[in-house]
Structure 1
Amino acid sequence: MPPKNYLHPVDLTQPKYLQTLVENRRVFNLENCELNVFESYQETYRVPLTFNEFVITSMVRGKKVMHLFDQPSFEYLPGETVIVPANETMVIDFPEAQQDNPTQCIALAVDAAYVNNTLQYLNTYYNSDPNEARDWRLQFNQYHFANDTEVTDLINKLIRVCSSGEKGKNIFADLNLKELLIRLVQSQHLQQVAVESIDHTNQSRLHFVLHYIHEHLTDKIAVDALSRKAYLSRNMFFKWFKEQFGVTPLDYINRERIKLAKQLLADKRNNVSAVSMQCGFTDVNYFVRLFKKSEGITPGVYQAMLYANDSRMAAN
């Protein structure tokens, strides 16, 4: 299924200003980051690209195939982001790039000192409880992901600010860049704890809460019950969960239920109402609205598209 959180369109380079048809580059320099806009206009393979700084890349249009970290290659599409450490070479294919169908991607190269200062802020601010202190850092085992709404909005703002002529653009870029880095780290932390909680239920309060949510995903999960299990008041639980993971407990529960729903919808024997109930939703209309907000289409359309794709594959 296509990602839903697309970046705003970025103007293409006028043909007379193109310096190359492969990875033509426009650069906007700021105090703590550098915005690069790359465009490719012809089918090309095995193009290397390396940055001297940590880089956040996000697709705007077209398709790339990425070869990274000696891992299997993957398609890179609009609505997706890839993060790469400094001095790590990306090898890129452009299998569909043409003059009338260019590939366009932005890359935010972030100053190393700025990244370290932001992580130090996290380590200072969020480690007030010695029982749950952790080393906040960027991880690169989760380097390719679909944009959520917050990441998309922040990258859109950074593109607008970096390419503007505003006098205070370094100030605005600093605010948005810091939030983007924090949200990326929080999202990675959530994914890591969720995986660890499968086998290490009692490693920490975080692991216990996420394990409980996944074990009871198809049941009614009361936030009051979660807060009691975390030995926190309801208000403190909300604040603690959001600070650790960047999302509210309800947002996380609903997101995991939508993931489960997509798996269940792949079975032709399951209709939308049955899937809604199996995923812990008591109101099928609420489930449909939530699914559409998350995926851009209703669960019925999603299921129909899966069946159509299966039929095409069987015919071939």
Structure 2
Amino acid sequence: MTVARKILQQQAVVPSWGGRLDTLVENKLTLTHEVAELNLYETFQRAQLVELEFNSPVLTSMLTGKKVMHIDNLKPFEYLPGESLVLPANKLMKIDFPEATVQTPTRCIALTISGDFIQQTVNHLNEEYPRSEPNDQWKVDVNNYHFHNGLEISLLIDKIIRLYRENNVMKPFFIHNSIQELIVRLMQTQARRVLVDQAKQHVNTHRLAYVVEYIRKNLTKTLAIEELSNQACLSKSHFFRLFKNELGMSPIQFILQERIRLAKQILSNPAKSITDACFESGFNSLTHFSSAFRTLERISPRQYKQQVS
């Protein structure tokens, strides 16, 4: 520890989260709430196989730097900013920090959530917002679930960090509601993975998976809600509500997302132009295409093509 403190003095390491810095590896600031505990981690030197384990279900999320995760018998995998990992209670993680330095620390959070609170939220969702298929139930998959954060989850994580650190008499109330929303967003993200990423496997058993595949096969056509609800054998209002509940977005938003995904594939082809990408992905206006692309991807179609060409 004497050596570590000498290094700290020479390089003037200041923890981003505040408080005293006791070690260069896995510095932690813990903030508590009645249903969840937020742990903020900051690592300033390379290390290997650092062990970490929590006694409650946990959502970890990377903020800066890179880790390599060793969990059970899974192949070690890189863990990068913008990604999260959900794990059950008492799951041992062994973590490498291949790039952490004083100048470029690795930062992440670990949010442990009461199992009872998770179950209460799941039960409430199943009672008030049942899924489209009678045999499906809302649930949180905590079996080493690794995913890229969507915009909503990224914003929620930022909000939760801010709420835990602010001085506000209503803070417990705000945190409670934000954690509950995070659990619901996680369930929607997990449901979306099945219905979107694995749609072909479920077209014969899940009506929304069937609609997802129908949309993909007809992206260049005008797709009305009435047409899609007919494909799902549901009324327009019931279809719209179920689609938004389970995928976390409206049918129109999903169609737009799929058209932009197709446009990106077309733009990756050096022989194709921006105009080709526009009309071949189902847009009928270059202006609308450019605006939608920039909204979803945060860059213009031209900038994207320059990156991938």
* Residue 113 of structure 2: aligned partner: 110
Cα deviation code 1:55-105 (max 9, x no counterpart): 112222222222335333333222222222222222222121111111111
CA contact (8 A) 2:57 2:142 kept: no
> For the residues of structure 2 that align with 1:141 and 1:270, how far apart are their CA atoms?
42
Aligned to 1:190: 192
Corresponding position of 1:150: 152
Query: Structure 1 residue 196: deviation in Å?
Result: 4.5
Bigger shift: residues 33-42 or 230-239: 230-239
Note the C-alpha offset of 1:140: 4.7
1:109-188 equivalent positions in 2, closer than 5 A:
109-127=112-130, 132-140=134-142, 143-188=145-190
Q: 1:294 to 1:69 in 2, by over 3 A?
A: farther
Deviation string for 1:93-127 (max 9, x for gaps)? 21211111111111111011111111111222223
Question: How far apart, in 1, do the equivalents of 2:97 and 2:52 lie?
Answer: 13
1:82 is aligned to 2:58: no
Specify the SS of the correspondent of 2:99: coil
How far apart are the structure 1 equivalents of 2:83 and 2:278? 27
Alignment RMSD (CA, Å): 2.2
Kindly tell me the number of residue pairs found equivalent between the two proteins. Answer: 295
* Distance in 1 of aligned mates of 2:238 and 2:37: 38
The CA distance in 2 between the partners of 1:41 and 1:181, in whole Å, is 31
SS of equivalent to 2:78: strand
Residue 54 (structure 1) aligns with: 57
Shift of 1:269: 1.3
User: TM-score normalized by structure 2?
Assistant: 0.87
Decide whether the 8 Å contact of 2:87 with 2:144 is kept in 1: no
Partner of 1:17: helix, strand, or coil?
Answer: coil
CA distance in 2, matches of 1:51, 1:291: 41
Q: Structure 1: which 5+ residue stretches go unaligned? A: 1-10, 308-316
- Cα gap change, 1:274/1:69 in structure 2, threshold over 3 Å: closer, same or farther? farther
- 1:267 partnered with 2:269: yes
Q: Quote the residue 1:98 is aligned against.
A: 101
Structure 1 pair 115–160 and aligned structure 2 pair: CA distance change class (3 A) = same
Structure index of larger Rg: 2
Change (3 A) 1:199 1:100: closer
1:47 aligns to what SS in structure 2? strand
Structure 1 residue 142 displacement after superposition? 7.7
Match of 1:310 in 2: none
Higher relative contact order (CA 8 A, sep 6+): 1
Taking only the aligned residue pairs, the percentage that are identical comes to 38
